[in-house]
Structure formats: structure tokens, C-alpha cells
Amino acid sequence: MIDIKLLRSSPEYVKKAILSRSAKNADLIERIFSVDAAYRKSIQEAEALRNERNAVSKEISSYKIAKKEPPPELTEKASKVKEAMYDFETKAQSFEKELEALIMTVPNLPQESVPLGNSEADNKQIYEDISFKKEFSFKPSDHHDIGEKLGIIDFERAAKLSGARFSMLKGKGARLERAIAQFMLDSHAQNGYEEILPPFLVNSKTMTGTGQLPKFEEDLYKTAGENPLYLIPTAEVPLTNIFAGEILEENSLPIKFTAHTPCFRQEAGSYGKDTRGLIRNHQFNKVELVWITAQENSAKALDEMVSHASGILKALKIPYRIIELCTADLGFSSSKTYDIEVWMPSENRYREISSCSNCLDFQARRMNLRYRPKGDKPKFAHTLNGSGLAVGRTFAAVLENYQKEDGSVEVPEVLRKYTGFDRIG
């Protein structure tokens, strides 16, 4: 949630920043300015009438002290002023409620260092590691075909159980997926992350805290009833909200969490995209990274998080690159994002496998998460999140980058102590 004080003190700056994300935000930002102006005017009118009411009441009291009956026109005036004041207070409450709802739909402001752009085509590559890129003597198959031929992925029976965009791993496939997740968790533990096993169902307040609600309701799975619980779309949601509503001591920061959880997304806006394979399923496993930091440390924290996430691909010896997202491609809660993309030989291109984002105090304001600097009043914390990594996409990348001409797949060396085997097929 953006700071309402900033919106009022620097309206042109806020407007320019929001429009740099998308020109479609123009109507929203203008509506916010309009409602905020009406809200403040109603407050001023109510306050002026309150002062007038107090003056009239004081005059009426002077008559009563003198044991005289106040003039009828004075009591009538007091009644009318009170009624008008009540009307403006009611209007102010209504405008305030609308303003709060509108503010919750405004995306975070991009940092000034974020490159301007109109689409993902304007994102910038800042690093590439192709030291382990393989030159195949055959046409590489995609992970869908590899998995089905090896009998370690069953899309047909998964569809029978649940429908489209679901998968089922079997035998060595299931063990490889588990090994990848375990390797990730162990690696992040060595980098100082505390492992958490959070709830997979959370309430609407928790979803609102990280920005999934109210804007992305259609992409979420939820239970029935008046107070539904939501299946988490990412472990970022419960991890970032752990200290919601609390004030942390500065010496406890940074806090670094990691978690391996299933994630559930309806993928409402992705009709026709990536319907084949493991890239865009309704249910998938992911290892998440979350930081809670003091305000002055979040920029450095983002760089560290990116190095920890990309370090997984480096250890797996799989080519990857790092992309800095432009303003138009930022996620709703992010002020700055780096995507890590993994090389997929069958497509001869990179695919996203992690987004690492600095949200500054955007989420902390929504969930009222603060810390107390020594000798100073509490401040809103900065929160960061990133995939460390998407397990299913890593699984797919291993199959494609380690495939052999005979159809088998070599297991990356760092995973062998977890799998107990060095080859599938």
C-alpha cells in the first residue's frame, strides 16, 4: 500500500510513477485524487460546522446560566448546524472508505533505478552464465516427452484425477523432485535462512497483507462459506505475514525465511499459454525465500537473494541469465524485480524460474509490520521475496539439459546423494 501522505504531498510524482507501469492506471489515480479531495473537503466542512456548533452551544449555555430561555431562532440554528455537521461527517466516512478501497488496488511505485518500459520486451539482461551450456548432437526433446517416455510423469492420469494443467510424478521422477527441493532447502539453510513449514490455507487478511487481495481474487482457489480460506499461491503469503501487526526490534533484523510448499493458482489470465508440460500448472511445488529488513538494508538484501536463488542453478550446472524487469513488467507489490531465467534446450530459449523482488514498505503498510530502531520511533519494515526456485520448472530444466541421445537422463552430481541414483532410464 502506498503512503497516503506521499500521495498528498507529491501527487505528480506518484502519478508519474504509477503511469510508468501502465497508462491504464490513469483513471484509477485520477479517481483517487478526486475522492481524496472530496474526503478532505468534507472533513474541513464538518470541522467548521463543529466550531460553529460549539459557538452556538456556548451562546445557548449563557442564556441558561442567566436562567433565561434562549431565542427559538438560536436553538433552531443549533439543530440545523448539528444536522449539517452530521451530513458532512457521514460523507467523509463514505469517502474515506472508498479511498481506502481504492488505495488497496494501487500497485507499488517503481524505484527510480528501474528501467522504463512498455512491455517485457523492454526488460534488460544484466548477467548470463552459459559455461555449462551443452551442444547436443541430436534434437533435444522437451521435458514433457522425456518424462512420459521414461515413465516418470503421467499427465493423462493426472488429468483424469483433476483436469487440465495438473501433473503426476512417479517413481524416480517423484524422487528427483523431492531431491531438488531438499537440495534447495539445504543450500538456503547454509545461507542463513530459517526453514518454515507454514499453513497452506490462509485467511483473507493474510492474502491482503501481501497484495493478492483484493486485486487478484480470480486467480485464487478458496473454500466455501462467509469467511473462506485461500489456498496459497506462493509461500510468500504466509511467510511475509508471520509478524503482521507486530513491532520487531531492529537487532532482530534481517529475518530470512525459506519454505517448500505446494502452490495453487487458477492461472485465470493464461488461457492457451503453456498448456503442455510443467511450466504453468494449477498446482506446483516451490521453494520460497523471504526477507524482512530495516529500510536502509533492503537494496543489498535483494542482491543477496538473487545470488542465493541463482546459486542453485550454478550448482546444478544449468545455464541461466538474470533479467532486470522494466516498469511495465513489475508485479503488483514490487518496487524492483530481477527475474532468473533457465535455459530450455527444446525451445532454444530461456524461461522464468524465479522472480526476486524488493517491495520496500508496500506490504508492511498493508499488514502493519514495523520495527523499532534504537532511540527512534517504529518504522515500517521492508519486505522481499523470491523463488529459490520453482521446483517443477527446475525438474523440467534438469530433464532437458541432462538428457542423453538414448532417451535417458543423467542426474546432476549435487543431487545424487539425495536421489540415490545417477541416471534415469
Can you tell me whether residue 354 is helix, strand or coil? strand
Distance between CA atoms of 299 and 303, rounded to whole angstroms?
Answer: 7
Q: Which residues contact 49 (CB under 8 A, 6 or more apart)?
A: 81, 84, 85, 88
pLDDT tens across the length of the chain (425 residues): 999 999 999 999 999 999 999 999 999 999 999 999 999 999 999 999 999 999 988 888 888 888 888 888 888 898 999 999 999 999 999 999 999 999 999 999 999 999 999 999 999 999 999 999 999 999 999 999 999 999 999 999 999 999 999 999 999 999 999 999 999 999 999 999 999 999 999 999 999 999 999 999 999 999 999 999 999 999 999 999 999 999 999 999 999 999 999 999 997 666 667 768 899 999 999 999 999 999 999 999 999 999 999 999 999 999 999 999 999 999 999 999 999 999 999 999 999 999 999 999 999 999 999 999 998 999 999 999 999 999 999 999 999 999 999 999 999 999 999 999 999 99
- Answer for the pair 152, 179: CB distance below 8 angstroms, yes or no: no
Is residue 237 in a domain? yes
In this structure, are strands 349-358 and 336-344 parallel, antiparallel, or unpaired? antiparallel
**Rounded CA gap, 191 and 4, in Å?**
37
Last residue of a domain, one of 59, 74, 103: 103
Distance CA 385, CA 141 (A): 33
Is 70 domain-assigned? yes
DSSP string, 341-394: EEEETTTTEEEEEEEEEE-TTHHHHHHT-EEE-TTS--EEPEEEEEEEEEHHHH
Return the closest-CA partner of residue 232 out of 283, 273, 292, 305.
283
3-state secondary structure of 297: helix
What per-residue confidence (pLDDT) applies to 275?
Answer: 67
Which pLDDT belongs to residue 272? 63
Q: What is the pLDDT of residue 402?
A: 98
Among 303, 302, 305, 293, residue whose Cα is nearest residue 379: 293
Q: What is the dihedral of CA 178, 184, 187, 188, to 10 degrees?
A: -130
Q: Which three cell numbers stand for residue 292?
A: 524482512
Provide φ and ψ at 147, rounded to 5°. -65, -40
Under 8 Å between Cβ of 259 and 198: yes
Same domain, residue pair 377 and 242:
yes
Q: Give the total number of structural domains in the chain.
A: 2
- How many residues in the chain? 425
Q: Are residues 260 and 330 in the same domain?
A: yes
Measured distance CA(262)–CA(252) in Å, rounded? 29
Cα separation, 33 vs 28, in Å, equals 9
Cell of 220: 485464487
φ/ψ of residue 315, rounded to 5:
-70, -35
Separation of alpha carbons 255 and 253, rounded Å: 5
Contact, 260 vs 198, CB < 8 A?
Answer: no
Same domain, 131 and 270: yes
Task: Give 23-61 as a DSSP string.
Answer: GGGHHHHHHHHHHHHHHHHHHHHHHHHHHHHHHHHHHHH
CB 351 within 8 A of CB 389: no
97, 183: one domain: no
Rounded to whole angstroms, the maximal C-alpha distance in the chain is 108
User: In this structure, is residue 114 part of a structural domain?
Assistant: no
Domain contains 115: no
Shared domain for 395 and 248, answered yes or no, is yes
CA distance 144 to 4: 48
Say whether both 49 and 179 belong to one domain.
no
Q: Which three cell numbers stand for residue 157?
A: 492420469
pLDDT at 270: 60
Note whether residue 263 is domain-resident. Answer: yes
Is residue 243 domain-shared with residue 136, that is, in the same domain?
Answer: yes
DSSP string, 213-273: TTTTGGG--B-SSSS--EE-SSTHHHHHTTTTT-EEEGGG--EEEEEEEEEE---TT-TTS
- Examine the domain organization and report whether 193 and 92 are in the same domain: no
Position 210: which residue type?
T
Give residue 69's pLDDT. Answer: 85
CA gap 407, 421 in Å, rounded: 16
Return the number of other C-beta atoms located less than 10 Å from residue 65's C-beta: 8
Of 103, 131, 147, which residue sits at a domain end? 103
Asked if residue 380 and residue 300 are part of one domain, the reply reads yes
Looking at the structure, do residues 176 and 254 belong to the same domain, yes or no? yes
- CB-CB neighbours of 79 under 10 Å: 12
Task: Assess contact for 108 and 2: CB atoms under 8 A.
Answer: yes
Domain of 156? 120-424
Amino acid at 298: S
Q: What's the rounded Cα separation, in Å, for the pair 310 and 342?
A: 9
Is there a contact between 152 and 171 (Cβ–Cβ < 8 Å)?
Answer: yes
pTM here is 0.93
Do residue 287 and residue 371 come from a single domain?
yes
CATH number reported for the structural domain that contains residue 87 in this entry: 1.10.287.40
Residue carrying C-alpha cell 487458477: 266
For strands 194-195 and 255-264, give the pairing: parallel
The set of catalytic residues is: 265, 280, 352, 355, 393
Q: Tell me: do 14 and 99 sit in the same domain.
A: yes
CATH number for 371: 3.30.930.10
Instruction: Identify whether 109 is part of a domain.
Output: no
420: its cell numbers: 540415490
Report cis status (omega within 30 of 0) of the bond before 140: no
Residue 79 lies in a domain: yes
59 found inside a domain: yes
